[in-house]
């Protein structure tokens, strides 16, 4: 069995040939022969890592007051998913002191 590697960039759409390759690969059986079994201690470590990663990615709810015309403009410019874009804008602003300083 050959190994096929490809680099996929954000926003890139796979070609019809790549999609066909993926469909064929999805039907192949998975060979677990070269994977050693995990001990209960290793399983506990992996579970703890997964819990800590999920906790780090958890988002909190926040209520803020934004002028209605700003919300309307965001909806018009950004369409569906505009709240996610606004969230990412706030995150970027907080991570960049020069942007944050402009708002203080």
- 1: confidence class by pLDDT, cuts 50, 70, 90: low
| DSSP-H helix ranges across 1-104 | 16-27, 40-57, 68-78, 82-95, 97-103
Write out pLDDT tens, residues 38-85: 999 999 999 999 999 999 888 888 899 999 999 999 999 988 989 999
Which residues, including other chains, have CB under 8 Å from residue 85's CB and lie 6 or more apart?
74, 78
Assign 20 to helix, strand or coil: helix
| pLDDT, position 12 | 85
- 2: confidence class by pLDDT, cuts 50, 70, 90: low
Highest mean pLDDT among 26-30, 37-41, 88-92: 37-41
| pLDDT, position 40 | 95
């Amino acid at each position: 069995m050959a190994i096929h590697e490809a680099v996929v960039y954000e926003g890139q759409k796979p070609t019809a040939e790549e999609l066909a390759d993926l469909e064929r690969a999805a039907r192949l059986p998975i060979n677990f022969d070269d994977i050693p079994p995990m001990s209960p201690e290793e399983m506990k470590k992996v579970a703890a890592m997964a819990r800590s990663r999920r906790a780090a990615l958890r988002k909190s709810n926040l209520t803020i007051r934004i002028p209605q015309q700003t919300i309307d403009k965001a909806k018009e410019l950004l369409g569906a998913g505009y709240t996610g874009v606004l969230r990412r804008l706030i995150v970027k602003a907080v991570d960049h002191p020069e942007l944050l300083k402009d708002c203080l």
